[in-house]
Amino acid sequence: MSSIIQQLINGVILGSVYALLALGYTMVYGIIKLINFAHGDVYMLGAYFGYFFIRVMHLNFFIALILSMAICSVLGMLIEFIAYRPLRHSPRIAVLISALGVSFFLQNGMSYLYGSDKRAFPQAIETTQYHFGALQISNIQIIIVTTAVALMILLHLIVKRTKMGRAMRAVSADEEAAILMGINVSRTISFTFAIGSALAAAGGVLIGLYYNNIDPLMGMTPGIKAFVAAVLGGIGIIPGAALGGWLIGILETMAQAVGLSNYKDAIVYAILIIILLLKPTGILGKNKREKV
């Protein structure tokens, strides 16, 4: 039983990072119905910015985290402005190809500039283990969960309590009606990309601290798993993305616990297929009738 509880704890910690990534996917999809496949690479850039601020500039971890989030939020807006905005009224396949192109550009650009080898992420916080009977948890794990939950609460407050949050919900519900109400749709979409990119950057810095290494391709697999998490919870639904992230994290750690480490990725993708077949709207999603 203690082993199962320990794996659940590990799953929640890993799932917290997936949840941060999934929130970016689900927010962008909710606003403009786009799967931003470059989102995982923004997560990678966040890890590298965190590496730079800690290793080169010798900044405090939390200051490095905030600065990485700020820079990636600007990069997110820049990606939206250059790669997606000109194609907003183009066929969906054109926007999808553009997203894949941005993803490959960021991956190969970082490989060219910094090499494709793994880099050791600086341990800005000394690891301390806490034992509760047979269970153990480190201060790094506590930081990951508390930071992720704090960012989710902050996102909830932004969406529910601010003027821009109301604009985001209006654009998501009906873009044409939002325009008639005087909402600047382009600015709202840009803000959504900024928030999603900041959350992805936070996930990148936290996972770098947790696993102690980063590389230019580190965002590929977590990005896909976060997309699966968003679909599992209900794409376009913010609480669903958080729920899906935690469930995927728990599922992955449980697969490792029973000796299926080599198949943990396959299990996650199988879950995606099952969800799409049985309940395409996800756990919290609801079927909507569309007027013809």
Q: What is the pTM of this model?
A: 0.91
User: What does the mean pLDDT of the chain come to?
Assistant: 89
What confidence tens digit (pLDDT) does each residue in 210-252 have? 999 999 999 988 998 898 898 888 888 888 888 999 999 998 8
Q: pLDDT digit string (tens) for 87-129?
A: 888 888 898 899 999 999 999 999 998 888 899 999 888 888 8
pLDDT, one tens digit per residue, over 2-59 is 778 888 888 899 999 999 999 988 998 888 888 888 999 999 999 999 999 999 999 9
Tell me what pLDDT residue 292 has. 41
Most confident of 74-78, 126-130, 278-282, 284-288: 74-78
Domains of the chain: 2-114+138-278 (1.10.3470)
DSSP the chain: -HHHHHHHHHHHHHHHHHHHHHHHHHHHHHHH----TTHHHHHHHHHHHHHIIIIIS---HHHHHHHHHHHHHHHHHHHIIIIIGGGTTS-HHHHHHHHHHHHHHHHHHHHHHH-SS-EEPP--S---EEEETTEEEEHHHHHHHHHHHHHHHHHHHHHHHSHHHHHHHHHHH-HHHHHHTT--HHHHHHHHHHHHHHHHHHHHHHHHHHHSEE-TTTTHHHHHHHHHHHHHH-TT-HHHHHHHHHHHHHHHHHHHHTT-GGGHHHHHHHHHHHHHHH-TT-SS--------
